[in-house]
Amino acid sequence: MSGICLDITEQKRKESEIDFKNTLLEAQLESSIEGILVVDPEGKPILYNQRFVEMWNISKTLLIDGDDKKIIDFVLKQLKDPKNFVETVEYLYAHKSEVSRDEIEFKDGRIFERYSAPLIDSEDNYNGRIWYFHDITLKMEIQDQLRNQYHFLQHLVDTIPYPLFYKDKSYTYVGCNTAFEKFIGLSREEIIGKTVYDISPKDLADKYHLKDVELMKNRNLQVYEAPVKYADGSRHTVLFNKTIFDDAHGEVAGLIGLMVDITHRKEVENALKVSENKYRALFDNADDGIFLMKDQRFVECNPKALKMYGVTRDQIIGEKPDVFSPELQPDGSRSGERAYELIKKALKGHPQHFQWKHIRLDGTIFYAEVTLNRLLIEEEYLIQAIVRDVTSRKKTENLLKESEERHRMVGQLINDFAYSCVQGETGQYHVDWITDSFYNITGYNEKELMENRCWMFTVHPDDEKIANNQLYDLTAGSTNVRIFRIITSTGEVRWLRNHVRGVLDEKEGILRIYGAAQDITQQREYLDDLKWELEINQSLSRIYLPMISEKSSLEDIATSILEESKKITGSHKGYVATIDPHNQDMVVHTFTKMMEECQVELDDKIRFPCGEDGLYPALWGHSLNTLTGFYTNSPQTHESYKGLPGGHIPLESFISVPVVMGNDLVGQIALANSTHEYNEMDLEALKRISAYYALAIQRIRYREKIIANLNEKELLLREIHHRVKNNMQIVTSLMNLQKQYVEEEETKMVLGDSQARVKSMAMVHEKLYESSDLSHINFKEYVEKLVYGLFYTHGVPRYTIKPVIKMGTVALSMETAIPLGLIINELVSNSLKYAFPNKKTGEIKVSLKITGNEYELIVSDNGIGIPRHIDLDNLKSLGLQLVSNLAHQLGAEITLNRSQGTDFRLKFKELEYQERLK
């Protein structure tokens, strides 16, 4: 027997290796999440995995049958575009070396990513083609959702009326809203990818960039004012509100900024300061002493009052008015009791005007006219006292009385000129002797006197009856005195007090008159001026009360102005108006009350527009056009007179003054038909009243602007806090969405921690938005919501770990509340994660103690305690590093006690508001 033995060990080894590789290949093929199909050079399937069958829903019957045409027909019926599918397959089979990647859409909404590559062996032989199919339906849906969410967020920020932008951490713009595009004057595509230096002047860009760097470094909410340049080249003042946002790893990813134009508000604030300065100047420079009293004691006064009483401010504030009065007043009343009665009446709303005797600090006496008015200031009534020193006037009045008495007693000894005259045959008198002072007073010469025989030719026509009756009534031995006017040679009117005595001339048997005429013009003018000044000041004092009252409307003030103006000028008719700053119409606030007899039919009876040429028509518009007061006692001859409409009241005389504030026309006072002819004194009186009216108009308009801007400011601040809170919620929502697409627990934990930190900051803005005080929040309510929210987020079962919060109601500023809230967030989260392993029960306590202006925050638990190797000076934990940094930011002392669980204590003072960039 013969045989051949062959060593097939190597062959067996290779076969075994091939079997192993085939098994491994088959296992990989079946474990793949992609559908795989391998075809031979003719396109016949030679290999596929179960995933391929499942993805294409190919039944076992078709596979067993092996009919390629049926399989292909079944596949094509599922597709939206079977024609393109077939063309692609045929093209690849025709071009064997081509590699292809595309997407296939199914009728049922599924989308596959298809990849195909040729099978080339080591000798470059084409052995068929492999097809990979990957289901990307969910991926495309997520991409659509993200794309839709992006468009929604972009639409949301575009609805914000204030410019909004966001930058990445390299300070490059990555997005903005429509308002920012308009502000910059560039499209969004032109802005994205640019830096602030590309779109702003360098001097402004340097400031903006410096603040951006500071924000990235400190990671706080940043609010500051800064100038900006608009696209039209104008410069404005803008309030910037900026904050940072983090990436998925908790690192700074960029910043978001919101801009609010506060130029108008700043202008109004400046105008308010100017107005306050004007009122202060009026108060400080008044010729009268002005006091404010509360509970019968002085609480404020002007410099004139200090000078009048000879005291310093410390010597008078807090004192009662009777301290500077004698025990008794001239009428015998006790100063203290009388002062109490007068103040009590004024507090009931009845203004008081009286004379009072005062004592200065050095003991000297002076007399004053005092006016008491009630003022409502900050919801409580105060008394305003206006004190005018009338000592000199009182002395003058006494001197005048003494002078008049002396005149009555000594008669001829004080006459300005003396004369004698005799009665002629016709009964007329002629002068036979007169002193030279007559010529000095009247300006006439001796010849002119002789031509007229008697000096009575100088008597004013209106007073001739008085002068003639004085002589005709005279008999021998009788005397009388008359006062009348004369007209000098220059036309000047002078007042004379004429004393006469009748004496019978026994020699000639005729009546001789001896007389003395005293020039009392200055006394009359002084008394008239004094009376006129008193009337003016009394009118102004009556106007002053409604002018400064917070309850007075412009109509109330106009009515008071009209009543006083009519009274002081003796006018029957008139109106008081303002100029509408928007269309320059003259708006009459008193027309319907004061012009009842006027039957003119108007569509709008209280509004009179200017003409197309910008001028106001007719007589009433003359002072408005010239900005100069005027009067006429013959209206029909005035240059601006245009006649009267039918039914208008007769116009006998007219006077008008414009009301001017700075260079701006703001109103008008116009009167008509006086009981006397209008004169310069009437015009001067109206000018002084118009100055008060201008201040009243200014005060009311500024008050309306201030109220509007304060309301706008509060709304803007609330809107800012609300939008910042919403933006932070969007950030947390994005983080939550991101968590769904990561599988690493550590990454999810980092995202969760970042969410909690952002939420704690968002809650501060939520509390500020809801609070009546936009600078402080109720910290107790904030901590309760924060801690209970952390328990819910960490899924703490009930009755396992108990939250205990001990603190009273305390209001903290945003600068303090945000870092404090982040510290509580980190420490409570740390306790929930590590202090109670294996479902151990216990307590987590948060308390806040207040001692004076110092606070102590305590966050503790009775868990297993923080490990001994953790050193507060050498921390590696991100959360505890954040706690340490925030404590440093608060200027707090932080201590750690491990004796019973974990006890963190921070002692700090409330941070004061740091003024932003100006």
* Distance in Å from the first CA to the final CA of the chain: 115
Q: What is the reported pLDDT for 761?
A: 60
- Which amino acid makes up residue 432? D
What local confidence, expressed as pLDDT, does residue 845 receive?
Answer: 93
Taking 90 as the threshold, does the pLDDT of residue 302 lie above it?
A: no
Least confident segment among 141-155, 334-348, 796-810: 141-155
Contact indicator for 682, 656 with CB cutoff of 8 Å: no
Q: Where are the alpha helices (DSSP H) in 285-390?
A: 303-309, 313-316, 335-347
What pLDDT is stored for residue 476 in this prediction? 83
Instruction: Please write the tens of the pLDDT for every residue from 219-253.
Output: 888 888 888 888 788 888 888 999 888 877 878 88
Q: What is the DSSP string of 544-580?
A: HHHHH-TT--HHHHHHHHHHHHHHHHTEEEEEEEEE-
Q: How confident is the model at residue 715 (pLDDT cuts 50, 70, 90)?
A: low
List, for residues 487-506, the tens digit of each pLDDT value: 999 998 888 888 888 888 77
Place of tokens 């009981």: 675
What phi and psi values does residue 569 have, to the nearest 5 degrees? -105, -5
Q: What are the pLDDT digits (tens) for 640-682?
A: 888 887 667 788 999 999 999 888 899 999 999 999 889 888 8
Task: Let me know: does 276 contact 301? Beta carbons within 8 Å.
Answer: no
pLDDT at 280 over 80: no
Cβ neighbours around 257 below 10 Å, total: 20
Q: How many helices (H) and strands (E) does the chain have?
A: 27, 33
Q: How far apart are CA 662 and CA 674, in angstroms?
A: 30
Nearest to 166 by CA among 253, 270, 81: 253
Q: Regarding beta strands 801-806 and 842-851, do their DSSP bridges make them parallel or antiparallel, or are they unpaired?
A: parallel
What is the DSSP annotation of 658-694? EEEETTEEEEEEEEEEESS---HHHHHHHHHHHHHHH
d(CA 894, CA 819): 14
pLDDT band, very low/low/confident/very high, at 3 (cuts 50, 70, 90): low
Sign of CA dihedral 897, 903, 906, 907: negative
**Closest C-alpha to 381, from 322, 317, 299:** 299
The pLDDT of residue 470 is above 80: yes
Q: 147 or 638, which is more confident?
A: 638
d(CA 401, CA 395): 10
d(CA 854, CA 875): 27
- Please tell me the distance from the alpha carbon of residue 200 to that of residue 205, in angstroms, as a whole number: 6
Task: Report the 10 Å Cβ neighbour count for 600.
Answer: 12
* Structure tokens given for 652: 């006998």
Instruction: Please determine, for residue 587, whether its predicted confidence score (pLDDT) is greater than 60.
Output: yes
Higher pLDDT, 597 or 551: 551
Query: Bigger pLDDT: 581 or 524?
Result: 581
Task: Write out pLDDT tens, residues 261-270.
Answer: 888 887 777 7
- For residue 838, what are the contacts with CB-CB under 8 A and spacing of at least 6? none
Residue 530 is predicted with a pLDDT of: 61
What's the CA gap between 184 and 262, in Å, rounded? 17
What stretch of H or E contains 45? strand 45-48
Is residue 780 within 8 A of residue 808, CB to CB? The reply is yes
Closest CA to 713 of 775, 762, 655, 657: 775
Residues 242 and 256: beta-carbon distance below 8 Å? yes
Q: How confident is the model at residue 308 (pLDDT cuts 50, 70, 90)?
A: confident
Distances (CA, A) of 500 to 40, 170, 437, 453: 155, 108, 17, 18
Is this model's pTM higher than 0.75 or not? no
Strands 365-377, 352-359: parallel, antiparallel or unpaired by DSSP?
antiparallel
Task: Measure the CA–CA gap between 447 and 283, rounded to whole angstroms.
Answer: 59
Q: What is the pLDDT, as a whole number, of residue 409?
A: 44
Average pLDDT over residues 118-133: 86
Which pLDDT band, with edges at 50, 70 and 90, does 407 fall under? Answer: very low
How far apart CA 554 and CA 544 sit, in angstroms, is 13
- One-letter amino acid for residue 361 of the chain: L
**pLDDT at 333 exceeding the cut of 80:** yes
Taking 80 as the threshold, does the pLDDT of residue 285 lie above it? no
When pLDDT is cut at 50, 70 and 90, the band that residue 414 belongs to is: very low
CA distance 183 to 176: 11
**In the prediction, which pLDDT does 32 show?**
76
Find tokens 């005799």 and name the residue: 422
Rounded Cα–Cα distance for residues 300 and 292 (Å): 5
List, for residues 603-619, the tens digit of each pLDDT value: 445 788 888 888 998 89
Q: Which of 436, 540, 537, 443 is nearest to 490 (CA)?
A: 443
**Which two three-digit tokens encode residue 704?**
């309306």
Residues 358, 339 contacting (CB under 8 angstroms): no
- pLDDT > 90: percent of the chain: 9
Task: Look at residue 846 in the predicted model and tell me its pLDDT.
Answer: 93
For the chain, the C-alpha Rg in angstroms (whole number) is 50
Q: CA-CA distances (angstroms) from residue 228 to 200, 259, 717? A: 8, 10, 20
More confident residue, 9 or 834: 834
DSSP state of 31: H
Q: Which residues of 334-353 are buried (b: 16+ CB within 10 A; e: fewer)?
A: ebeebbeebbeebeeeeebe
Band of the pLDDT at 916, cuts 50, 70, 90?
very low
Could you say which DSSP state residue 874 is in? B
The pLDDT of residue 825 is above 70:
yes
Rounded to 5 degrees, φ, ψ at 812 are -120, 150
For residues 461-481, give the mean pLDDT.
84
The strands making up 126-135's β-sheet, listed across from edge to edge, are 45-48, 35-39, 126-135, 111-120, 100-105
More confident residue, 503 or 602: 503
Q: Which residue has the higher pLDDT, 873 or 393?
A: 393
- Taken in order 673, 675, 677, 680, is the CA torsion positive or negative? negative
Which pLDDT band, with edges at 50, 70 and 90, does 917 fall under?
very low
Neighbours of 744 (CB within 10 A): 8
Mean pLDDT value across residues 392-410: 61
pLDDT at 53 over 70: yes
Query: Cα torsion at 13, 17, 23, 29 (round to 10°)?
Result: -170
pLDDT on residue 601: 46
* Per-residue pLDDT, 603: 45
pLDDT of 34? 86
Query: At which residue do the structure tokens 């704690």 appear?
Result: 760
Mean pLDDT of the chain: 80
> Which position has the token pair 């000297």?
364
* Integer CA distances (angstroms), 424 to 231, 427, 454, 513, 716, in order: 99, 5, 11, 12, 96
Q: Where are the beta strands (DSSP E) in 469-570?
A: 479-487, 493-505, 510-519
- pLDDT number for residue 286: 76
Quickly state the pLDDT bin for 428 (edges 50, 70, 90).
Answer: confident
Q: Write down the pLDDT at residue 141.
A: 75
Distance CA 48, CA 456 (A): 145
Using CA atoms, how far residue 287 sits from 308, 388, 613, in Å, is 10, 8, 43
Q: How far apart are CA 59 and CA 278, in angstroms?
A: 95
CA distance linking residue 821 with residue 727, whole number of Å: 18
What phi and psi values does residue 697 have, to the nearest 5 degrees? -60, -45
pLDDT at 412: 35
- Closest listed residue to residue 721, CA positions, set 761, 780, 779: 761
Between CA 830 and CA 126 the distance in angstroms is: 63
pLDDT range class, residue 915, cuts 50, 70, 90: very low
Residues with Cβ within 8 Å of 784's Cβ and at least 6 positions away in sequence, in order, are 805
Measure the CA–CA gap between 760 and 911, rounded to whole angstroms. 18
Residue-wise burial string across 672-687, b where 16 or more C-beta atoms lie within 10 A, e elsewhere: bbbeeebeeebbebbe
Please give the C-alpha separations between residue 613 and each of 609, 617, 625, 659, in angstroms, as whole numbers: 11, 10, 11, 21
| Secondary structure E strands in 622-663 | 630-632, 654-661
Residues in the chain: 918
